[in-house]
């Protein structure tokens, strides 16, 4: 990140330590906070941003496209650099780029992204919304303080047809004792994304005593976050529990979707009476297995070959152990490798691994071939698992390093029926501060074959009360009946980010998205159509009420919806 730039927190902030009464009525909103686009080379796509003047004074707002950068401390927005290979700014147009709003007014800003035909990869930009500063000269003898208010939205542009190998590593891992906190430990892991595209990383840490006894598994850092290409991010957790003096190890695991599995590193540390002594980080073994996974369509009684190439990237010999295991996919889409080969719908017992162990000389590679045998009596639609390749290396000081690569294997039986899914739950939560409706869908796979989510479209409707209606009358004409008819009109639509997510047989998938829309008190209906590749999509409908807020309650509280109503299809 260029010198002089500070990380920008995605909320309104003031670039000064001073304040002025002239801006006491300033309050505005830019939504949504992020825009994720998947486009094809040569395509032009439009998207919308909403600017709302929530203050008590009129304001002129300027919208600027900036390069998005990231360092260990957070995101920043920089002046566009034509040499930046990840910048989406040259492809981006904002209309209008300046707008004046009265108090309470809102405006829709159109963004247009035009992708060159030869483009590949993923690009990024930040759209900065700034309240235009008062440029008038100060009155004689009166000092004037210039205050700048800004909000930002991150734009991510993924170009279809791009294939990128996700590579990440932990470059630093430390155990430290914070100042003035007796008996506590701070674990900090620095993760580097070595890929050409962004990744979403999530960290956990396992603490153990020197004798191997597990102290516990804990979250590392602040949840799942985006890491830009060739950028580093720190994940830190503070453990406030008491640790008795002694020797410990901390194993950090950062999952980011890479074919090699999570980035793993271990650090030993000692807790003394007054301090913590941390040893050197133990790095993972650098090796590669190609391809990154296999898919087979094999008939009962058939045989297929699993061919792979194992490459030693170390300057020393490594030992490889190969083992087939069962796997699961969590409702959030995370692959979990089980400790054994046995599980419902597991393909692991069908794989003959020989050799199970072999050695590779420094910077050498080896082609291997394993056999997949499908029993004649097999039934159902699919089987799933992984081949785990665990590499071990011994350093010059005698330290042993171990790390694993997990390669998914998916077996589909021919003539299997298409998957069947339903919407098990459809829920909403409205945040009046952000003017966003959070939508959560839980999809249930009711078949014995996986499905791949394709699209989930939601439409939002508000209830309209009709006070008069006509019914069939006599010869004198229709009869006018005073009453109330339940009518709904569409006010918004959106798509949940579901594309490509896999849900295994008899499992669930949780999908969450946001509808950016201010919702006044009233009754609403949310309709959903979920396309997962089955004979027909799954549909659901959900009615909820937004209650009026007591003026004395500030700020407004997010509101959960009333009981969901779901219809399946």
Q: Which two tokens stand for residue 317?
A: 């010999």
Q: Are residues 338 and 471 in the same domain?
A: no
Q: Confirm if 295 and 383 have CB atoms less than 8 A apart.
A: no
Q: Are residues 274 and 304 in the same domain?
A: no
Using CB atoms within 10 Å of the CB of residue 20, give its burial: 0 to 12 exposed, 13 to 18 middle, 19+ buried. middle
Q: Which two tokens stand for residue 283?
A: 């790095």
Residues 561, 569: Cα–Cα separation, whole Å: 23
Position 138 pLDDT exceeds 80: no
Residues 124, 86: Cα–Cα separation, whole Å: 6
Residue with the two structure tokens 């030693």 = 312
Q: Are residues 328 and 403 in the same domain?
A: yes
Residues 567, 423: Cα–Cα separation, whole Å: 8
Residues 345, 343: Cα–Cα separation, whole Å: 6
Q: Are residues 67 and 27 in the same domain?
A: yes
Highest mean pLDDT among 111-115, 218-222, 236-240, 253-257 belongs to 111-115
pLDDT at 443: 95
**Quick one: CA dihedral 493, 498, 504, 507, positive or negative?**
negative
More confident residue, 161 or 561: 161
| E strand or H helix that includes residue 444 | strand 436-445
Residues 509, 32: Cα–Cα separation, whole Å: 24
Query: What does the pLDDT look like over 416-427, one tens digit per residue?
Result: 889 999 999 999
Mean pLDDT of 253-265: 81
Position 230 pLDDT exceeds 70: yes
Residue with the two structure tokens 């020393």 = 316
Q: Which two tokens stand for residue 562?
A: 């009333």
SS3 23: helix
Residues 206, 204: Cα–Cα separation, whole Å: 7
pLDDT at 400: 84
Q: Are residues 200 and 311 in the same domain?
A: no
Please indicate, yes or no, if residue 5 is contained in any of the structural domains.
no
Please indicate, yes or no, if residue 1 is contained in any of the structural domains.
no
Per-residue pLDDT band for 558 (boundaries 50, 70, 90) equals: very low
Per-residue pLDDT band for 284 (boundaries 50, 70, 90) equals: confident
Please indicate, yes or no, if residue 447 is contained in any of the structural domains.
yes
Residue 264: which residues within 8 A CB-CB, separation 6 or more?
170, 251, 252, 253, 254, 284, 403, 404
Residue with the two structure tokens 């010869």 = 475
In 3D space, the residue among 462, 519, 526, 459 whose CA is nearest the CA of residue 495 turns out to be 459
Position 270 pLDDT exceeds 90: no
Q: Confirm if 524 and 463 have CB atoms less than 8 A apart.
A: yes
Position 257 pLDDT exceeds 60: yes
Range with lowest mean pLDDT among 267-281, 334-348, 378-392, 451-465:
267-281
Position 151 pLDDT exceeds 90: no
| E strand or H helix that includes residue 412 | strand 400-412
Considering 233, 250, 278, which residue would you say is the last residue of a domain? 278
Position 160 pLDDT exceeds 70: yes
Number of H helices, E strands in the chain: 0, 40
Instruction: State yes or no: cis peptide before 278, omega within 30 of 0.
Output: no
pLDDT at 180: 56
DSSP 179: T
Please indicate, yes or no, if residue 73 is contained in any of the structural domains.
yes
pLDDT at 14: 28
Q: Are residues 81 and 20 in the same domain?
A: yes
Can you give 346-392 as a three-state secondary structure string? Answer: ECHHHEECCCCEEEECCCCEEEEEEEEECCCCCCCCEEEEEEEEEEE
Considering 241, 258, 278, which residue would you say is the last residue of a domain? 278
Query: What are the start-end ranges of the H helices in 34-148?
Result: none
Q: Which two tokens stand for residue 349?
A: 């017992």
Query: What does the pLDDT look like over 457-506, one tens digit per residue?
Result: 999 999 987 555 555 556 665 555 555 567 889 999 999 988 888 999 99
- How many domains, the chain? 4
Position 164 pLDDT exceeds 80: no
Residues 529, 538: Cα–Cα separation, whole Å: 6
| E strand or H helix that includes residue 226 | strand 214-227
Q: Are residues 461 and 551 in the same domain?
A: yes
Which range of residues forms the domain containing residue 408? 287-412
Per-residue pLDDT band for 269 (boundaries 50, 70, 90) equals: confident
Please indicate, yes or no, if residue 568 is contained in any of the structural domains.
no
If you count them, how many residues does the chain have?
Answer: 569
Q: CB neighbours (10 Å) of residue 345?
A: 21
Please indicate, yes or no, if residue 567 is contained in any of the structural domains.
no
Q: What is the CATH number of the domain that holds 257?
A: 2.60.40.2360
pLDDT at 144: 47
Residues 379, 383: Cα–Cα separation, whole Å: 10
Q: Which two tokens stand for residue 423?
A: 């919407």
Q: Are residues 192 and 228 in the same domain?
A: yes
Distances (CA, A) of 88 to 45, 50, 157, 447, 548: 13, 20, 7, 41, 41
Per-residue pLDDT band for 18 (boundaries 50, 70, 90) equals: very low
pLDDT at 280: 66
Q: Are residues 218 and 131 in the same domain?
A: no
Per-residue pLDDT band for 307 (boundaries 50, 70, 90) equals: very high
Please indicate, yes or no, if residue 4 is contained in any of the structural domains.
no
Mean pLDDT of 102-107: 89
Position 183 pLDDT exceeds 80: no
Q: Are residues 310 and 338 in the same domain?
A: yes
Please indicate, yes or no, if residue 391 is contained in any of the structural domains.
yes
pLDDT at 536: 93
Residues 530, 273: Cα–Cα separation, whole Å: 58
pLDDT at 15: 28
Q: What is the CATH number of the domain that holds 86?
A: 2.60.40.10
pLDDT at 456: 94
pLDDT at 559: 39
Considering 278, 304, 337, which residue would you say is the last residue of a domain? 278
Using CB atoms within 10 Å of the CB of residue 523, give its burial: 0 to 12 exposed, 13 to 18 middle, 19+ buried. middle
Query: What does the pLDDT look like over 340-368, one tens digit per residue?
Result: 899 999 999 999 999 999 999 998 999 99
Residues 493, 437: Cα–Cα separation, whole Å: 11
Residues 434, 507: Cα–Cα separation, whole Å: 33
Mean pLDDT of 218-234: 85
pLDDT at 520: 92
Q: Are residues 58 and 189 in the same domain?
A: no
SS3 441: strand
Q: Are residues 266 and 154 in the same domain?
A: no
Range with lowest mean pLDDT among 9-23, 25-39, 222-236, 390-404:
9-23
Position 248 pLDDT exceeds 70: yes
Residue 433: which residues within 8 A CB-CB, separation 6 or more?
555, 556, 558
In 3D space, the residue among 106, 333, 314 whose CA is nearest the CA of residue 200 turns out to be 333
Position 162 pLDDT exceeds 80: no
């Amino acid at each position: 990140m260029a010198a002089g730039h500070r990380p920008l927190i995605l909320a309104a902030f003031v670039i000064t330590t001073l304040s002025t009464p002239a801006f006491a009525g300033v309050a505005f909103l830019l939504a949504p906070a992020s825009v994720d686009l998947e486009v094809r080379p040569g395509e032009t796509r439009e998207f919308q941003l909403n600017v709302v003047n929530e203050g008590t004074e009129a304001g002129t707002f300027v919208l600027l496209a900036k390069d998005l950068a990231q360092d260990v401390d957070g995101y920043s927005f920089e002046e566009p650099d034509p040499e930046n290979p990840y910048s989406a700014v040259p492809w981006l147009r904002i209309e209008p780029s300046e707008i004046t709003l009265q108090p309470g007014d809102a405006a829709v800003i159109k963004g247009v992204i035009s992708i060159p035909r030869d483009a590949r990869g993923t690009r990024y930009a930040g759209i900065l919304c700034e309240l235009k500063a008062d440029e008038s000269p100060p009155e004689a003898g009166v000092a004037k303080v210039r205050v700048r208010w800004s909000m930002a939205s991150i734009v991510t542009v993924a170009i279809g047809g791009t294939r990128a190998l996700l590579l990440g590593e932990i470059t630093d891992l430390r155990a430290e004792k914070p100042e003035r906190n007796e008996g506590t430990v701070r674990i900090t892991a620095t993760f580097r994304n070595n890929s050409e595209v962004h990744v979403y990383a999530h960290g956990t840490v396992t603490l153990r005593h020197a004798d191997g006894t597990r102290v516990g598994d804990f979250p590392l850092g602040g949840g799942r976050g985006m890491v830009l290409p060739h950028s580093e991010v720190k994940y830190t957790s503070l453990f406030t529990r008491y640790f008795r003096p002694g020797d410990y190890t901390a194993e950090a695991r950062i999952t980011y979707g890479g074919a090699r599995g999570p980035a793993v590193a271990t650090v030993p540390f000692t807790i003394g009476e007054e301090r913590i002594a941390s040893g050197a980080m133990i790095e993972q073994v650098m090796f590669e297995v190609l391809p990154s996974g296999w898919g087979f369509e094999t008939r009962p009684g058939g045989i297929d070959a699993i061919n792979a190439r194992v490459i030693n990237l170390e300057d020393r010999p490594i030992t490889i152990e190969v083992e087939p295991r069962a796997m699961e996919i969590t409702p959030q889409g995370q692959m979990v490798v089980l400790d054994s080969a046995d599980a419902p719908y597991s393909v692991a017992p069908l794989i003959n691994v020989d050799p199970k162990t072999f050695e590779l000389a420094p910077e050498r590679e080896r082609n291997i071939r394993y056999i997949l045998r499908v029993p004649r009596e097999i039934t159902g639609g699919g089987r799933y698992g992984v081949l785990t390749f665990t590499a071990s290396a011994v350093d010059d000081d005698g330290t042993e390093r171990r790390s694993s690569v997990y390669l998914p294997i998916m077996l589909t039986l021919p003539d299997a029926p298409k998957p069947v899914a339903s919407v098990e739950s459809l829920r909403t939560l409205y945040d009046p501060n952000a003017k966003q409706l959070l939508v959560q869908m839980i999809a249930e796979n009711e078949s014995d074959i996986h499905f791949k989510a394709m699209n989930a479209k939601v439409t939002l409707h508000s209830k309209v009360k009709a006070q008069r209606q006509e019914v069939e009358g006599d010869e004198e004409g229709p009869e006018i009946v005073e009453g109330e008819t339940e009518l709904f009109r569409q006010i918004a639509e959106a798509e949940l980010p579901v594309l490509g997510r896999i849900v295994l047989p008899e499992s669930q998938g949780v999908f969450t998205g946001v509808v950016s829309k201010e919702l006044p008190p009233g009754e609403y209906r949310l309709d959903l159509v979920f396309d997962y590749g089955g004979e027909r999509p799954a549909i659901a409908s959900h009615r909820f009420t937004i209650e009026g807020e007591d003026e004395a309650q500030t700020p407004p509280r997010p509101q959960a919806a009333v009981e969901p109503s779901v219809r399946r299809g």
